Amino acid sequence: MLAYDFIVRAYLASGIVAVVAGTVGYFLVLRGQTFAGHALSHVGFAGATGGVLIGTSPLAGLIAFTVGAGIIMGLLGERLSGRDVAIGVVLSLSLGFGLLFLSLFTTHATQATALLFGNILGVSPGMVRSLAWLGALTLAALAVISRPLLFASLQPELAEAKGVSLRLVAVLFLSLVALAVAQSVQVVGVLLVFALMVGPPAAAQLLTRRVAAGILLAAALAVADAWLGIVCAWYSDWPTTFWITAWSAAIYLAAVAVMRRRG
């Protein structure tokens, strides 16, 4: 496998994305905001197709729209909590706009398919470099806000009493989620972004209660998920994204089984 450059690039890109998705996803699951994270991916699809329509790169449009939406969601703060219907409407509307933009510029239908379902085997060297820079930026920013973020996630009332701005923390965190979503779309696509950002982190939280160990385990499980997906796709000729989602589900179910045995 490793004799082929596109496979090596797939491993590098998926490894970078998996580390970021697993780490950011740990806090996303901890804060109970997984549905909001999924909505960001659909907003990103509209941004990516809109970017293609006006002549910019899909990744630039994806990042611009997801970060903008993440900031708005963060500003809404607690008013966003429990608003599954409102988020669902935004989610479907964004996907609809994406399909509209695509219909206006049909020559890029292949790019749209890759955005919807991922195309990790088609990653270019330039995309690997872009993902590396974005990944480093996202992890560095997450490290800076990790202490107030954890405080605000576990004990929001006490954090606010101590002077932590819950709204600012929410805005900063959801902006980082938006960057992580933009990267994950390159691997698993808009429709299946949950595979890397929710499955492995949720499994990690079941397996350990320690935050540092949980974050490392979430990142490791996400990387294992992505790399096993590539191996299985190579030997089966089935889509890589299918295998990544299948391994994500298997990892989570295995964690549930371990928890039940412990209990």
Q: What is the average pLDDT score of the chain?
A: 84
Reading the block at residue 251, the tokens are: 């990892």
pLDDT at 260 exceeding the cut of 80? yes
pLDDT at 262: 81
Helices 109-117/58-76 angle, 10° precision = 40
What is the C-alpha separation between 88 and 83, in angstroms, rounded?
9
* C-beta atoms surrounding 96 within 10 Å: 13
Confidence band of 233 (pLDDT split at 50, 70, 90): very high
Give the model's confidence band at 256: pLDDT under 50 very low, under 70 low, under 90 confident, else very high. Answer: very high
The residue extents of the domains of the chain are: 5-191
In the prediction, which pLDDT does 57 show?
Answer: 72
Tokens found for residue 113: 């398919």
Burial class (CB in 10 A: 0-12, 13-18, 19+), 209: exposed
Q: Residue 110: what pLDDT? A: 60
Q: Are 48 and 164 in contact (CB under 8 A)?
A: no
Q: How far apart are CA 177 and CA 36, in angstroms?
A: 10
Q: What's the rounded Cα separation, in Å, for the pair 141 and 189? A: 24
pLDDT interval class at 11 (50, 70, 90): very high
The pTM of this model reads 0.85
Asked whether the beta carbons of 188 and 241 are under 8 A apart, the reply is: yes
As a whole number of angstroms, the distance between CA 198 and CA 209 comes to 17
Per-residue pLDDT tens over the stretch 58-117: 778 888 888 887 787 777 665 555 456 666 666 777 777 777 877 776 655 566 566 666
Query: In the predicted model, is pLDDT for residue 210 greater than 80?
Result: yes
pLDDT tens by residue, 142-189: 999 999 999 988 898 898 888 888 888 888 998 898 888 888 777 777
The CATH superfamily assigned to 5-191 is ABC transporter involved in vitamin B12 uptake, BtuC (1.10.3470.10)
